[in-house]
Structure 1
Amino acid sequence: MQQKLSTREEYSKRINIVIEYINNHLSEEMSVETLACISNFSPYHFHRIMRAVLGEPVGAFITRMRVETAARLLRYSDMPIQEVAYKVGYDVPSSLSKAFKTFYGISPNEYPNNKTYSIMKPIQVNPDFKLEQRIVDLKSMQAIYIHLQGDYNNNDYGAAWGKLWEHVHKSGLFTEQMSRLCSNTPKSHILRKMCDETGINHICIYHDDPKVTEGDKQRADVCLSIKAKVEPKGEIGVKQIEGGKYVAFLYKGPYSNLGSVYDTIYGKSIFEFKHLLASRPGFEVYLNDPECTKPEDLMTEIYVPIE
Structure 2
Amino acid sequence: MPHKNSTKLSHKERVNTIIEYIDVHIENPVYRLDLDTLASVACLSGYHISRIFKSHTGEGIHQYVKRLRLENAAKQLLYSKKTIQHIAELSSYHNFPAFTKAFKQHFGCPPSDFRERKNIVDFHDVYPIHTERLVKGKNIIDMQTKNLPDQKVVFMLKIGPYEDAANRAWAGLMQYAYSQQLITRETTNIGITYDMPEFTHEEKIRYCACITIDHNHKAQGDIGTKLIPGGRFATFIHQGPYAELCYTYDYIYNDWYSKNNVTLSNHPSFSIYLTDPIKVEPENLLTEIYVPIE
TM-score (structure 1 length as normaliser)? 0.86
CA RMSD of aligned residues (A): 1.8
- Where structure 1 has 5 or more consecutive residues not aligned to the other structure, the ranges are 179-193
CA distance in 2, matches of 1:128, 1:166: 34
How far the C-alpha of 1:164 sits from its partner, in A, is 2.9
How far the C-alpha of 1:166 sits from its partner, in A, is 4.0
Q: Percent identity?
A: 32
CA distance in 1, matches of 2:6, 2:207: 24
Residue 147 of structure 1, aligned match among 157, 174, 178: 157
Question: Are 1:45 and 2:55 an aligned pair?
Answer: no
Count of aligned pairs: 281
CA distance in 2, matches of 1:268, 1:227: 37
Residue 88 of structure 2, aligned match among 68, 85, 94: 85
Alignment partner, residue 160 of structure 1: 169
For 1:236-255, what aligned pairs fall within 5 Å after superposition?
Answer: 236-255=223-242
3-state DSSP of counterpart to 1:133: strand
Question: Are 1:22 and 2:22 an aligned pair?
Answer: yes
Deviates more, 1:58-67 or 1:269-278: 269-278
Alignment partner, residue 73 of structure 2: 70
CA distance in 2, matches of 1:156, 1:142: 20
CA distance in 1, matches of 2:176, 2:59: 30
Alignment partner, residue 212 of structure 1: 199
Residue 289 of structure 1, aligned match among 276, 279, 288: 276
Q: Deviations over 1:224-259 (max 9, x none)?
A: 011111112111100110111111111001111111
Alignment partner, residue 130 of structure 2: none
Letter of the aligned partner of 2:287 in structure 1? T
How far the C-alpha of 1:110 sits from its partner, in A, is 2.6
CA distance in 1, matches of 2:74, 2:16: 25
3-state DSSP of counterpart to 1:304: strand
CA distance in 2, matches of 1:73, 1:10: 35
3-state DSSP of counterpart to 1:78: coil
Contact 1:122 1:211 (C-alpha < 8 Å) held by counterparts: no
Letter of the aligned partner of 1:93 in structure 2? F
CA distance in 2, matches of 1:245, 1:223: 20
Contact 2:166 2:209 (C-alpha < 8 Å) held by counterparts: no
Residue 208 of structure 2, aligned match among 211, 221, 243: 221
How far the C-alpha of 1:272 sits from its partner, in A, is 2.8
Higher relative contact order (CA 8 A, sep 6+): 1
Q: CA 1:47 to 1:130, structure 2 compared with 1: closer, same or farther past 3 Å? A: closer
Letter of the aligned partner of 1:58 in structure 2? I
CA distance in 2, matches of 1:64, 1:238: 25
Alignment partner, residue 134 of structure 1: 144
Contact 2:182 2:213 (C-alpha < 8 Å) held by counterparts: no
Contact 2:263 2:293 (C-alpha < 8 Å) held by counterparts: yes
CA distance in 1, matches of 2:240, 2:47: 49
Contact 1:143 1:238 (C-alpha < 8 Å) held by counterparts: yes
Alignment partner, residue 111 of structure 1: 114
TM-score (structure 2 length as normaliser)? 0.89
